[in-house]
Structure 1
Amino acid sequence: MKRNKAYLKALLIGVILAILGTFIQLPYYVTKPGMATELDPIINVENGFEDEGEFMLTTIRMGQANIFSYLWAKFHKYHEILPINHVRRDNESDEEYTNRQLYYMEDSQESAISVAYKYANKPITVKNHGIYIMGIVEGMPAEKELKAGDRIFAVDGKKVEEHTEFMKYVADKKENDRINISIDRNGEEKTVTVPLAPFPKSPDKIGIGIELITDIEVVTDPKIEIDTKKIGGPSAGLMFTLEIYNQLTEKDLTHGLRIAGTGTMNPKGEVGPIGGIGQKIVAADNSNVEIFFAPNENGAADSDYQQALETAKDIKTNMKIVPVDTFEDALHYLENLDENK
């Protein structure tokens, strides 16, 4: 009987520890290789051309650490532990972080569309959808009335389309002045009144405590649809651009191969660095990718490209790692792929 009681006690303690280890979150995030996802089902250009191969984006899996995931990451290569303030901004909620990442993804799509249509000699126009609230400063007046994801379209009855217009208007106000802000929140329009106050960490600076970005929509001919669901961040910009361009033009740039990569894309067609390049190389290799484009950062010694080479050597992959600084670099490589083999 005593042995049975001891056994049940040990079992109960084990269950409690397992529950605590699973549900108690630590002030860290754990990142690890995600997967390579085909872009053809995600991007659809109206009457676009088909390809024989695949352009693919690469992802990183990330979540807030519990005791088990923290310990697991400690002993597994290409799992990284990041302090929470290296991922989320000060006092940024999960909702605000998610909205910020989704906006970055949307912004990367717009740059990708602009660049791809430009190189394919297809027309685009730009529509302005007002000002998008990216985040709220804790302890500031906006916290009571506004939310991340709100869109501002007027202030004190005056229409505003650029975040710089809003900032300039507020800059002329004084502490305790009140402004009426008209917003769209999930399709519902409303007007809220917000007073101005000093920022907690910068008392000489007056404002309401919001982070803003101008929301732009690119309208194309032919039409394009992109369905990224909950994929966030800007790092798929280069691969979006390649997939869109490939659907717009008759020549198939994939050559029947599985081609992945990473890197931000700006409206000038420049490729920017990202985080977690090693984990993305592992993800691409796990998905049998044959060519991987990596940001070259103009030949910097610690560039994403150099880190990608190190990872590729470490995991002994046969995947070809290609350095790029611009969309044109990637385009030129693929157009001359027979000579580059």
Structure 2
Amino acid sequence: MKKKKNKAYLNALLIGIVLAMLGTFIQLPYYVTKPGMATELEPIIDVENGFQEEGEFLLTTIRMGKANVFSYAWANIAKYHEILPINHVRRENESDEEYSNRQMYYMEDSQESAITVAYRYADKPVTLKNNGIYIMGIVEGMPAKNELKPGDRIFAVDGIQIDEHTQFMDYVGDKKEGEVIEISIVRNGEEKSVSVALAPFPTNPDKIGIGIELITDIEVVTDPSIKIDTEKIGGPSAGLMFTLEIYNQLTEKDFTHGLRIAGTGTINLEGQVGPIGGIGQKIVAADNSDVDIFFAPNENGAANSDYQQALATAKDIKSDMKIVPVDTFEDALNYLASLDK
């Protein structure tokens, strides 16, 4: 009798282990997001001979992963966890490589805008230089699929130097279906040439091309020089905080006032701050990191702005962080300058 009970127990245990493994490894067509962390920017950004600061500027992150049975179930009951359908995160037929490449481009674009705005406000030399074009994605069923990859840098077509994506589009626009173009690229540091024929797009037969999504590779040249190490950070939402950290290192005055200052929001070349997703989760992350001040995109006073959502979250979690609305980099700078009074 005892042997039967032991066998039943072992069978039940084995079934439980199998179910647990299935629940862990079977992925659902969703992503789960939750509060991440607040990361200090000073170790990431290094302006040559930059000034030191007593406090810290921090970027806030969201943790995101593909949902399995357990994470999906937990996200349904855990506060400030969110479930996103896969098509809200990934483009149709977008590969892991293409998604990663797109996120890194957004981060690089955010860095370039942040550097440009900060140096201009600090009255330091900064110029923008085009270094060809990058492939962001490739259309399924188009000729480029067999010859090109996301991340390839195109620097010439049929021997003609290409500096920006509009040049490439204009050149291809004058071609006809079936014509072959020779594309010179750099892939993993090596130059090579590939021949690609033009064809109609599957969803738009009147449009002819090779099936690539392009962006211009912009290099920001500065004096003093700057280095940014963000290999593991993707997306554009740290633009405002990047700009503040860079500007603070460029100027003798320390705008941190010895405080821990976080925030979120995109930045463009005009210094305008744009909204992002997951503001509530970023408020939680900042509060968990003992942040004193949090800058949130105001969206020109919109009723459901990131700022309003940030206020609601801070109240809900009983945070004593100061939530500050900003529409521009200058708004954030003026607020920090006002702390002297």
Specify the TM-score bucket, using the shorter chain as the normaliser: over 0.9
Letter paired with 2:224: P
1:162 to 156, 161, 164: 164
Letter paired with 1:266: N
Residue of structure 1 equivalent to 2:190: 188
Residue of structure 2 equivalent to 1:91: 93
Equivalents in 2 of 1:315, 1:247: separation in Å? 33
Equivalents in 2 of 1:58, 1:286: separation in Å? 11
Equivalents in 2 of 1:188, 1:22: separation in Å? 40
Residue of structure 2 equivalent to 1:123: 125
Q: What is the alpha-carbon root mean square deviation over aligned residues?
A: 0.8
Residue of structure 2 equivalent to 1:310: 312
| Helix, strand or coil at the partner of 1:239 | helix
Deviations 1:33-62 (A, max 9, x none): 000000000001111100000000000000
| Helix, strand or coil at the partner of 2:149 | coil
Equivalents in 2 of 1:76, 1:266: separation in Å? 35
Equivalents in 1 of 2:205, 2:25: separation in Å? 39
2:259 to 257, 276, 286: 257
Letter paired with 2:205: P
Deviations 1:51-100 (A, max 9, x none): 00000000000011111111111110110000001001010011110111
Equivalents in 2 of 1:193, 1:4: separation in Å? 68
| Deviation for aligned residue 1:125 | 2.0
2:111 to 104, 109, 112: 109
Map residues 248-327 of structure 1 onto 2, 5 A cutoff.
248-327=250-329
Letter paired with 1:9: N
Which range moved further: 119-128 or 31-40? 119-128
Residue of structure 2 equivalent to 1:218: 220
Residue of structure 2 equivalent to 1:330: 332
Which runs of 5 or more residues in structure 1 are unaligned?
Answer: none
Equivalents in 2 of 1:82, 1:195: separation in Å? 38
The answer on 1:53 being equivalent to 2:50 is: no
Equivalents in 2 of 1:3, 1:226: separation in Å? 62
Letter paired with 1:150: D
| Helix, strand or coil at the partner of 1:35 | strand
| Helix, strand or coil at the partner of 1:328 | helix
| Deviation for aligned residue 1:338 | 4.0
1:205 to 200, 204, 207: 207
Letter paired with 1:141: P
Equivalents in 2 of 1:12, 1:206: separation in Å? 57
Letter paired with 1:100: R
Deviations 1:150-198 (A, max 9, x none): 1000111111111000011111111111111110011011111111111
Deviations 1:279-308 (A, max 9, x none): 000000000001000000111111111111
Q: TM-score, normalising length from structure 1?
A: 0.98
Equivalents in 2 of 1:186, 1:113: separation in Å? 26
Residue of structure 1 equivalent to 2:229: 227
Q: TM-score, normalising length from structure 2?
A: 0.98
Residue of structure 1 equivalent to 2:246: 244
Letter paired with 1:195: A
Aligned residues: 339
Which range moved further: 287-296 or 137-146? 137-146
Letter paired with 2:263: G
Letter paired with 1:259: I
| Deviation for aligned residue 1:256 | 0.3
Equivalents in 2 of 1:166, 1:120: separation in Å? 35
Map residues 168-183 of structure 1 onto 2, 5 A cutoff.
168-183=170-185
Residue of structure 1 equivalent to 2:78: 76
